[in-house]
Amino acid sequence: MSKSKTSNKSVPRARIIVISGPSGVGKTTICDRILVGRRDIWYSVSATSRPRRKGERNGREYYFLSDAKFKDWIRRKRFLEWARVHGHLYGTPKQFLEDRIRRGHHVLLDVDVQGGINLKKIFPDGIFIFIRPPSFAELKRRLTKRNTETPEELKNRLAAVWREIKCQKKYGYSVVNDDLKRAVDRILVIIDKETS
């Protein structure tokens, strides 16, 4: 009976890939582009208590939960991390992410800055990428153009921008989203370098 040969090449370990940045910087669009053609990366859908926006679907953009349901999930320890951001609750469901990592899949997350920092405490070996706007004026233009916030919400999101940008030093990488294709290409290079 012949012995099977084992390869000396080590299999890369599964990693979480966290995309964070201020509201309106393009995190969701970037994540959508990253996932195109990448069967080695799975997307982790976050949960939120904020109202669903036009065109959003439960389980695709977010798991939309009532405040009471979200708090029930907290009590039942169904989140890896959670935080109140811009007046609403946001959290990372535990089971999906842990299952995928256990199966050897990389997991992509689109989270706010607080969430990213919380996840870094749990997964210090994760790939943490901060997305910066080309300028404050451009970020304000994008947020205003998407027309998804009330004037008060818009004001709060813009007020948080400088505080969030200061947190980029806590991330392993920082990428400016001045041109979508260029930003996505830079991020894919980072992911390939980190996961190969």
111 assigned to some structural domain = yes
pLDDT at 87 over 90: no
The CATH number for 69's domain is 3.40.50.300
10 located within any domain:
no
Residue 164 within a domain: yes
In a domain, 7, yes or no: no
Residue 55 clears pLDDT 80, i.e. is over it: yes
Q: What is the pLDDT of residues 124-133, one digit of tens each?
A: 999 999 999 9
Assess if residue 11 is contained within a domain: no
Q: Does 4 score more than 70 pLDDT?
A: no
Confidence of residue 12 (pLDDT cuts 50, 70, 90): low
pLDDT tens per residue, range 31-53 = 999 999 899 999 999 999 999 98
Is position 2 within any domain? Answer: no
Q: Give a yes or no: residue 89 inside a domain.
A: yes
Q: What is the pLDDT of residue 8?
A: 44
pTM of the complete model: 0.86
Mean of pLDDT values over 168-177: 97
For all residues of the chain together, what is the average pLDDT?
A: 91
Q: Is residue 1 part of a domain?
A: no
Q: What SS3 string covers the chain?
A: CCCCCCCCCCCCCCCEEEEECCCCCCHHHHHHHHHCCCCCEEEECCEECCCCCCCCCECCCEEECCHHHHHHHHHCCCEEEEEEECCEEEEEEHHHHHHHHHCCCEEEEECCHHHHHHHHHHCCCCEEEEEECCCHHHHHHHHHHHCCCCHHHHHHHHHHHHHHHHHHHHCCEEEECCCHHHHHHHHHHHHHHHHC
Residue 47 structural domain: 16-195
Please state the domain count of the chain.
1
pLDDT above 50 (res 26): yes
